[in-house]
Structure 1
Amino acid sequence: MWIPISDAPISCFPHFEVAAESGDWIVVDKGAPLIVHPSNGKKEPNLLEGVEALLSYEIANGASLSLVNRLDRETSGLTLIAKNKAAARQLGRAMQRRLMHKEYLAVVQGWPEWTETTCTAPILRQGDVAESRIWVKQAVHPAGKACTTVFRTERAWNTPHGPLALVRCIPETGRMHQIRVHLAHLGHPIIGDKIYGPSEECYLEYIQRGWSRELEEQLLLPRHALHACRLEFPFDEKVFTAEAPLPEDMRKLLEVQKENSVR
């Protein structure tokens, strides 16, 4: 479903698909870049307004939507939304108790030496311990909050831009930018990541001037190649599973290089 565009930002893909639904909740596959809810008073398309339009009949009959999990603007994939307050409470408790299982796919720089590894590096906001011109930027630091991410290398291949790999990411905690920070910490930043990729200057330049040929040469993609592909969650004593295929931009990157796959 497409979300009507009014005063759109520099880059926006206002699109989502329904991945699973019940009378109490809906799981949608969010496009990227797209924010999940209005922020900073800016008027731009967002996922919540799009789902509200889709469920306008249910809302007119008493439904009240609540986001259960949130994705970054540039992260695509599965987002769970409760349709009523009781469902929001139940799903919120499941989230707090870490009863939800989430999996992501990322295209990263380099060939990981590991087939599977677990990163437990603690994370905090970089500005709390060092200078950073990006307020939201996170960093690995001994004083940070504990967090854990499991990574599995699914495929690696050669490209004109150097070796790349497709990595499955399974976060066991939910810190801000956790997957992106952990992959960069392991030496394999996500393709297209303006903050944790080649240089944070990429983010600052993008904010000031928008996407450019120079940024494309450094980042390859105009958004970071991270996709929430699988979500398992309990509800009313049952476990539900939703899956979302790779979006077109990440799929094309893989298709272009599939003949050069090395493992």
Structure 2
Amino acid sequence: MQNQADFHILGETADYLAVDKPAGLLVHPSKPGGPRTLWDGLRDLLGYELATGGQISIINRLDRETSGVVIVAKSAEAARTAGIAMQRREMKKRYLALVFGWPDWEEITIDTPICRRGEVEDSIVWLERMVHPSGQPAVTRFRVLDRHSRNDEPFALLEAEPLTGRTHQIRVHAASLGFPIVGDKLYARGRDKYLRFIDEGWTEALAADLWLPRHALHCTRMIFGDNVWDAPLPGDLAVLTR
């Protein structure tokens, strides 16, 4: 498949494009003059479509640190079709996650609401979420794929299937089960790690505690209609499982 400077093309139909977004690449610009984003790369790639009346609509948004499959609609009609499919939960997503610890289960479904922590108690990080009865419904299925250890510390490779689409859902649910995602500066080993990263950047102390400079979450499969798009575990995560 064709490679772009910022992402890898997984497949294309008349209506949609699927790309593998690397960790660290923003999906949309956050401020004028900011770093190059997935949107910028797509605008370059689909210049002909834009010039002939098409549009670029990113259907599933991954946060900066999450890598994996992103689907792009090339017309307003295709975007509307995909949007309806997402509302009806007809678009299936599967993620791979490396988590600290070894679960004592092989498969589990967690059905616990999620809200922004600041809505129910004091929080020093505005984006932080938590499980709470007053939150919005959230359901995630987890399955253990493999168990590993690093310097005698256990960790596991999980498949995660979010059946709802809440902010930070997989990360919050994994942490609430006692198996936070490797590299997660907010939910893995205390929110102070997030604040230290903001103040000091990535340090040796954070590396020793969290292992990776980004959370180990990767969207590995998207299923939409007859289309199945897969993105293998990227090198920075795969190297831990060898």
Amino acid at match of 2:160: C
Structure 1 segments unaligned to the other structure (5+ residues): 4-14, 256-263
Q: Hey, what does 2:192 align to over in structure 1? A: 201
Aligned pairs for 1:54-73 within 5 A: 54-73=45-64
1:41 Cα deviation from its structure 2 partner: 4.3
Counterparts of 2:112 and 2:93, CA distance in 1: 19
1:149 and 2:140 equivalent? yes
1:221 and 2:212 equivalent? yes
1:57 Cα deviation from its structure 2 partner: 2.2
Q: Hey, what does 2:100 align to over in structure 1? A: 109
Q: Hey, what does 2:179 align to over in structure 1? A: 188
Amino acid at match of 2:69: L
Q: Segments of 4+ in structure 1 off by > 3 A?
A: none
Q: Hey, what does 1:6 align to over in structure 2? A: none
Counterparts of 2:221 and 2:27, CA distance in 1: 18
Amino acid at match of 1:110: G
Among all aligned residue pairs of Structure 1 and Structure 2, give the percentage whose two residues are the same amino acid: 46
Task: State whether residues 222 and 230 of structure 2, in contact with CA within 8 Å, keep that contact through their aligned partners in structure 1.
Answer: yes
Please give the per-residue CA displacement for 1:194-216, whole angstroms capped at 9, x wherever unaligned.
Answer: 10011111111111221111110
Amino acid at match of 1:71: L
Q: 1:243 to 1:200 in 2, by over 3 A?
A: same
Please give the per-residue CA displacement for 1:14-63, whole angstroms capped at 9, x wherever unaligned.
Answer: x3111111121101100001111112446112111111111222222222
Counterparts of 1:32 and 1:159, CA distance in 2: 22
1:34 and 2:25 equivalent? yes
Q: Match of 2:150, SS? A: coil
1:158 Cα deviation from its structure 2 partner: 2.1
Q: 1:184 to 1:42 in 2, by over 3 A?
A: farther
Q: 1:133 to 1:40 in 2, by over 3 A?
A: farther
Higher mean alpha-carbon deviation, 225-234 vs 199-208, is at 199-208
Q: Aligned match of 2:149 in 158, 170, 173?
A: 158
Q: Hey, what does 2:223 align to over in structure 1? A: 232
Amino acid at match of 2:227: F
Task: State whether residues 148 and 241 of structure 2, in contact with CA within 8 Å, keep that contact through their aligned partners in structure 1.
Answer: no
Task: State whether residues 216 and 237 of structure 2, in contact with CA within 8 Å, keep that contact through their aligned partners in structure 1.
Answer: yes
Amino acid at match of 2:86: M
Q: Match of 2:153, SS? A: coil
Counterparts of 2:205 and 2:122, CA distance in 1: 25
Structure 2 segments unaligned to the other structure (5+ residues): none
Q: Hey, what does 1:92 align to over in structure 2? A: 83
CA RMSD of aligned residues (A): 1.1
What is the count of residue pairs matched by the alignment? Answer: 240
Q: Normalising by the residue count of structure 1, what TM-score does the alignment of the two structures yield?
A: 0.89
Please give the per-residue CA displacement for 1:91-127, whole angstroms capped at 9, x wherever unaligned.
Answer: 1100111101100000000000110000001100000
Q: 1:42 to 1:210 in 2, by over 3 A?
A: farther
Q: Aligned match of 1:19 in 10, 20, 26?
A: 10
Please give the per-residue CA displacement for 1:115-162, whole angstroms capped at 9, x wherever unaligned.
Answer: 000000110000001111111110000111111000000000222051
